[in-house]
Structure 1
Amino acid sequence: MTAQIFDWLHVGNWREFWWVIIGLAGQLMFTARFLVQWLASEKAGESVVPVYFWYFSLAGGATLLTYALYRADPVFVLGQSMGLLIYARNLWLIHTSNQREA
């Protein structure tokens, strides 16, 4: 059974298996942000971007960056690292805006 799972995931050992699981977890978090945005927009009856969108973006992006660094994929590393700056900046803007309103 283990050999079949390893073959299906294209891994040769448990270490690689767990790295693929980390990568998949990051991708699931990253994908969840779209579900959060869609549900919030449906509830509001207009297009909105809730703060959780940015938290899922940051968590998924950081996990995917970790996986990309492990894989030593420069294209993947560059793409995820640039996104992390944008996600963090949006959260900072939201945080400072909420402080001014309080």
Structure 2
Amino acid sequence: MFNFDLFMIVGLIGQGMFSMRFIVQWLASERAGKSVIPFSFWVFSLGGSFLLLLYAVYRRDPIFILGQAPNLLIYSRNIWLIKRGK
């Protein structure tokens, strides 16, 4: 049914990481009783977006590439701002 190659596995891992960020954010917010965005949210965002971008480049999907590429800058900047503030 599916031909699992290296890049399909990369894409699946990327999508899993990207999805984990919402679970991490939800659990942190539930614990705090208010909406919070933990550092791990940005780490999962960056990792998932990077792997999804690799997958999109491999698939030569310009829509997917345009959707993921700017995210790397945004997530990296947020991580840098958090690290700089500590």
Same fold (TM over 0.5): yes
User: Does 1 or 2 have the higher relative contact order (CA < 8 Å, sep 6+)?
Assistant: 2
Which TM-score applies when normalising by structure 2?
0.95
Note the residue ranges of structure 2 that are not aligned, 5 or more in a row.
none
Give the aligned residue type for 2:46. L
SS in structure 2 at match of 1:49: coil
Which residue in 1 is equivalent to 2:5? 17
Which residue in 1 is equivalent to 2:31? 43
SS in structure 1 at match of 2:5: helix
Which TM-score applies when normalising by structure 1?
0.81
Cα distance in 2, alignment partners of residues 93 and 23 from structure 1: 28
Q: Write out aligned runs for 1:80-99 (5 A).
A: 80-98=68-86
1:28 aligns with 2:10: no
Q: Percent identity?
A: 56
Aligned length: 86
Segments of 4+ in structure 1 off by > 2 A?
A: none
Larger Rg: 1 or 2? Answer: 1
Which residue in 1 is equivalent to 2:54? 66
